[in-house]
Amino acid sequence: DAKTTQPTSMDCAEGRAANLPCNHSTISGNEYVYWYRQIHSQGPQYIIHGLKNNETNEMASLIITEDRKSSTLILPHATLRDTAVYYCIVRVRVRGGADGLTFGKGTHLIIQP
Amino acid sequence: GAVVSQHPSRVICKSGTSVKIECRSLDFQATTMFWYRQFPKQSLMLMATSNEGSKATYEQGVEKDKFLINHASLTLSTLTVTSAHPEDSSFYICSALDRSGRGYNEQFFGPGTRLTVL
């Protein structure tokens, strides 16, 4: 799996959009970008994933640059409950495949009231 | 998303005893489950891959005789920490692989088990 680089921590005001960057310059053509988050003392929660097109779901939007070397996770209206460590993971997505995830250090997002 | 449970959520035990942690997929069948460990202020580290009906695959540096994994059914995997010592104190998290039609190989995580060995 390709290596990812994320800022160690970020602050965001409640109600504003939180934009979390991830650099994955060595990503290969068949690797997807996944985002998970971990609220303190809980298991990780899947947020979103994408290959090359921008994706949106009820939780967030994922913007992937055209060269796929970086991406941004956007939480449109951050709330205090969004305070968590956010992990960007790059991996191959194969039907039937079964590999454990490699977690980096992630970004500790702190939502300020 | 799919629901994965873990039991117990928290356990305190004496050094030298064994502790069993259960991981269940509640609304889907999981032929593959994963066990992770997370020490304070660190990221999750994959310990082993558990496959239903076969032996688990352990990551390098994880002692298979100390961390016994059993995946006897399509909805249950157990991790037994044998002869636990204080350095085994950690947050143990499982995930289950959902291969149903709703996704390729998405992993869903349990809430974790906090183990404290005195």
Binary contact (A87, B34; C-beta < 8 A): no
Q: Which of A46, A48, A58, A59 to mutate to test the interface with B (most CBs of B within 10 A)?
A: A46
Q: What is the tens place of the pLDDT at every residue in A9-26?
A: 999 999 999 999 999 999
Buried b (16+ CB within 10 A) or exposed e, B68-80: bbebeeebbbbbe
Residue B103, classed as helix, strand or coil, is: coil
Q: What are phi and psi of B86, to 5 degrees?
A: -55, -35
Tokens 């009820």 map to which residue?
A58
Cα(B8)–Cα(A51) distance, integer angstroms = 37
Residue B12, classed as helix, strand or coil, is: strand
Q: What is the tens place of the pLDDT at every residue in B48-98?
A: 999 888 889 999 999 999 999 999 898 999 999 999 999 999 999 999 987
- Using a CB-CB distance cutoff of 8 angstroms, which residues of chain B are in contact with residue A99? 49
Kindly state the percentage of chain B with pLDDT values over 90: 73
HEC string of B30-99?
CCEEEEEEECCCCCCEEEEEEECCCCCEECCCCCCCCEEEEEEECCEEEEEECCCCHHHCEEEEEEEEEC
Consecutive 10-residue averages of pLDDT for chain A (113 residues) = 90 97 94 94 92 93 96 97 96 71 94 96
Cα(B68)–Cα(B39) distance, integer angstroms = 19
Q: What is the tens place of the pLDDT at every residue in B24-59?
A: 999 888 888 999 999 998 999 999 999 888 889 999
